[in-house]
Amino acid sequence: MPPPPPEPAVRVDLAEDPHAHIVCRNCGRIQAIELTELDRHVLTELAARHPDGWSVDGIAFSATGACRRCREGPPA
């Protein structure tokens, strides 16, 4: 087990853990992307760099692309 990442320097008050997903540009299908503890730490650090005057209550990473079904076409 690697050591746990350090606590974020700036705390953000999240209603739920950071999450990530990928969205198909063609059909709109959404699938979750698995996050590691380090991923969550990095996303939290990133969100903590928000502009002055903002609060943060959620973190979501979104990627876009094409799902397997759209890339491969209908089954033969």
The footprint of Zn ion on residues 3-22 (CB under 5 A) is none
Half-sphere exposure of 46 (CA within 13 A, CB side): 11
Question: Cβ of residue 6: shortest distance to Zn ion, in angstroms?
Answer: 39
26 binds Zn ion (CB under 5 A): yes
How far from chain centre, in Å, is Cα 48? 14
Question: Which listed range, 5-13, 14-22, 42-50, 60-68, lies at the site for Zn ion (CB under 5 A)?
Answer: 60-68
Would you tell me how many other CB atoms lie within 10 Å of the CB of residue 66? 14
31 binds Zn ion (CB under 5 A): no
Report the C-alpha gap between 43 and 60 in whole angstroms.
8
Q: Enumerate binding residues for Zn ion (CB under 5 A).
A: 24, 26-27, 29, 67, 70
